[in-house]
Amino acid sequence: MAGETAPERRVLAIGGADRTRFLQGLVTNDIDRLADGMVYAALLTPQGKYLADFLLSAQGERILIDVADMLADDLLRRLSFYRLRADVTIAPTDLAVTRGLGPAPRGSLADPRHPALGWRAHGAPGGPPQIDWDAIRVTHCIPESGIELIPGESFILEAGFDRLHGVDHRKGCYVGQEVTARMKHRTELRKGLVTVEVIGTAPPGTPVAAGDKHAGTLYTQSGGHGIAHLRFDRAQGDLQAGTATLRWPGAAG
């Protein structure tokens, strides 16, 4: 299969007669959408904070969970905790995650987050990484697990999950739904992830300052731009992240 192996990803499998109902009550998106292709979703704390994000797909009598390797063990543990008496099996697999751009090979599915992310498949490994995925993510402000998306800290609406098709506000209850719904119905978000111009460089996680006030954090950078989590009321004019200067085109004024 054409494409490259996605590094540091793991695939879990959910089986059993109750697999769809089980996940429907836990994750942020509508599991019934699996009939139409891949689904992007997250598991949250009861307080609405991000724990893990993943791509779900149906494969025969099981649902595959494509998740960052660094989050996989904790996700497996948490899903097992919620299983209780449901007819559900949860297990790791040896499937590789393959991704690519251009014509999608047979058996692959479109990445639901953004068309620029191309397609993904689960099976045999592909070739070595060749595509600059960070450049694509920065251009379209697509967060990455463990970088812009921080377990126990991030809120998915601030991370753009509405725009990335990662949350369904009409599906009913899931873990963290009440807090997410309250944030959704605010007049506007006060902070969130945006793409900024970056003059210079700074390590991911560098604090952003507006004068003497904390204004956010700078994360992934590529091609003179970066993804930053900003407080919108403070992100005016030139901002500083270490020795780098940031400019946010969406700033007022």
Question: What's the pLDDT at 147?
Answer: 97
| Domains: count for the chain | 2
Verdict on whether the full-model pTM lies above 0.85: yes
Domain assignment of residue 78, yes or no: yes
Residue (of 182, 235, 230) closest to 206 by Cα position: 230
Q: Which of 183, 211, 239 is the last residue of a domain?
A: 183
* Strand arrangement of the beta sheet that strand 109-110 belongs to: 4-5, 96-100, 119-123, 109-110
Average pLDDT over every residue of 4-20: 97
Rounded CA separation 144/133 (Å): 10
Whether residues 74 and 197 share a domain: the answer is no
Whether residues 229 and 147 share a domain: the answer is no
Whether residues 169 and 61 share a domain: the answer is yes
Residue (of 68, 31, 55) closest to 164 by Cα position: 55
Question: 127 by DSSP, 3-state: which?
Answer: strand
Residue 219 CB neighbours (<10 A):
24
pLDDT band for position 252 (50/70/90)?
Answer: low
Whether residues 24 and 55 share a domain: the answer is yes
Question: What's the pLDDT at 34?
Answer: 98
Question: What's the pLDDT at 185?
Answer: 87
Burial of 228 (0-12, 13-18, 19+ CB in 10 A): buried
Average pLDDT over every residue of 154-170: 97
pLDDT tens digits for range 50-100? 999 999 999 999 999 999 999 999 999 999 999 988 999 999 999 999 999
Supply the CATH number for residue 157's domain: 3.30.1360.120
pLDDT tens digits for range 121-131? 999 999 998 99
| Region at 180 (left for phi over 0; alpha for psi -120 to 50; beta for the rest) | alpha
Domain assignment of residue 252, yes or no: no
pLDDT tens digits for range 198-237? 999 999 999 999 999 999 999 999 999 999 999 999 998 9
Average pLDDT over every residue of 6-16: 97
Rounded CA separation 147/153 (Å): 12
Whether residues 29 and 144 share a domain: the answer is yes
pLDDT band for position 2 (50/70/90)?
Answer: low
Statement: residue 186 has pLDDT above 80: no
pLDDT tens digits for range 24-54? 999 999 999 999 999 999 999 999 999 999 9
Whether residues 163 and 240 share a domain: the answer is no
Domain assignment of residue 10, yes or no: yes
Statement: residue 187 has pLDDT above 80: no
Range of the domain at 214: 190-247
Rounded CA separation 3/120 (Å): 9
Question: What's the pLDDT at 1?
Answer: 45
Backbone angles phi, psi at 159, to 5 degrees: -90, 0
Whether residues 179 and 204 share a domain: the answer is no
